[in-house]
Amino acid sequence: MGSGTVLHVNAVGLMASIEEGLDASLRGRPFVVANEGGARAVVLDVSGAAHREGLRRGMPLSAARAFLPGVAIVAPRLELYRGAEDRLWRLALEYTPLVERAGPGHLFVDLAGTGRLYGSAADATQRFRSRVLADTGLKPALALSSTKTASKVATRVFRPGGFVALSPGEEGLLVRRQPASLLPGVGPVLLGRLALLEIDDIGGIADLSDREARAIGPKGPELVSRARCRDDSPVDPRPRERRSVSGEAVFEPDTTDPDTIRLRLAALAAELAFSLRKDGRAFRRAELSLWYTDGLSSPGSARSARTLCRDDEALGLALAAFERARGRRVRVRRVVLSLSGIEAAGPELDLFEPEDLRLVRLQAALDAIRGRYGGAAIEPCAMLALGAAHGAAHGAAHGIAR
């Protein structure tokens, strides 16, 4: 039986690999890529040797130094790394237009239909692998399967530079046996909940009933489906900015006050929703990440059954996602909010209920002020909006013009 045609490319430690390629003295040494001059610098990437010593991306640089005294610090060269990622993407485009940029150093490539030019998907992958090594010096982990989830889990198993081609019958067996932390979407908070259920592998997640899946969190049913390798999401070649819009707020100082976080979310949600409305687009989903002082993060998400576009609707989803992300009594350093499930805005105005129509007209008036005088011209009456938005996507949109 042949392998699937969904290829995941995982350029593990891309920043560190590039630095090692440019400076032979770094090879085999524990080092981290970080902006040493930053007041609250975090580790952007770690070398293989540093990873084996226990250092991880995202941890504060001060913690990395305390954990491994004398570890070498390499200043980041972001333009260089972005150039390498662009080259990786362009090499993949030589095989198929169905290439999805899935984060720094990550690609999904759909090799279905390329057989007449390049042979089987496994043969095409080997050709691609050779091109990447020759052109960039990178040795990414590569995995072929029939779903994005199985391919991504497999590259995490066969990192840093392995290759595996899985048949549909092999995917489930491989995925089930892996630690729960390797399943996309499982973060520190959910790992804690799974530990209480004595679940430590993906197979344990796959075996949860529908009721049990809902009990572990709002993303439970989706995670169970992924754990069972039931993932029909296609490789999406559209630019990431067309698939979602995102923004972040940094707290100075770090905070544990939920009202402070909600107020910043109100401004973020309004900004993102306005950017979509300007392009005639709407959204269905909000995804939020809370990043803590200790470098860890916790995710939350909320989804609407219909397309949304107003500020108050964006805030309603954002607050629902925030409540699902909360769970640690640690100071929050920053919050990242994304609106996704992007579609053309609709329906037509005469299909709105009378209350919705009133709010749509109010939103249009506020947007006209924003468009003429800038975003700072509108200041949401945050307390009114927040009071209506706890769990309600139909709260009133209020604002005052300066």
> What is the residue-averaged pLDDT of the chain?
83
Q: What is the pLDDT of residues 81-114, one digit of tens each?
A: 989 999 999 999 999 999 998 877 899 999 998 8
pLDDT band at 151; cut points 50, 70, 90? very high
pLDDT at 48 over 70: yes
Token code pair at residue 132:
């990447």
330's CB contacts (< 8 A; 6+ apart) are 256, 292, 293, 294, 296
Q: Which of 169-178, 209-218, 299-308 shows the highest mean pLDDT? A: 169-178
pLDDT-derived band at 354 (thresholds 50, 70, 90) equals very low
Provide the pLDDT for residue 350: 32
* Phi-psi sector, 103: left (phi>0), alpha (psi -120 to 50), beta: left
pLDDT of 393 over the 70 cut = no
Choice among 23-37, 127-141, 149-163, 338-352 with the minimum mean pLDDT: 338-352
**What pLDDT band is residue 69 in, cutting at 50, 70 and 90?**
very high
Nearest Cα to 330, choosing from 295, 380, 288?
Answer: 295
Q: Which CATH architecture has domain 240-401?
A: 2-Layer Sandwich (3.30)
Q: What percent of the chain has pLDDT over 70?
A: 83
Per-residue model confidence as pLDDT tens digits over 264-279? 999 899 889 888 887 7
368-381 residue pLDDT tens: 666 666 655 566 55
Classified by CATH at the fold level, domain 14-78 comes out as MutS, DNA mismatch repair protein, domain I (3.40.1170)
Q: Where are the chain's structural domains?
A: 14-78, 177-227, 240-401
> How high is the pLDDT of residue 232?
78
CA proximity to 146, closest of 175, 186, 105: 175
Residues 277-288, mean pLDDT to the nearest whole number: 84
Per-residue pLDDT, 377:
56
Whether 308 has a pLDDT exceeding 70, the answer reads: yes
Contact in structure between 345 and 281 (CB atoms under 8 Å): yes
CATH T-level fold of 177-227? DNA polymerase; domain 1 (1.10.150)
Per-residue confidence (pLDDT) for residue 372, from 0 to 100: 62
Q: Is 374 left (phi over 0), alpha (psi -120 to 50) or beta?
A: left
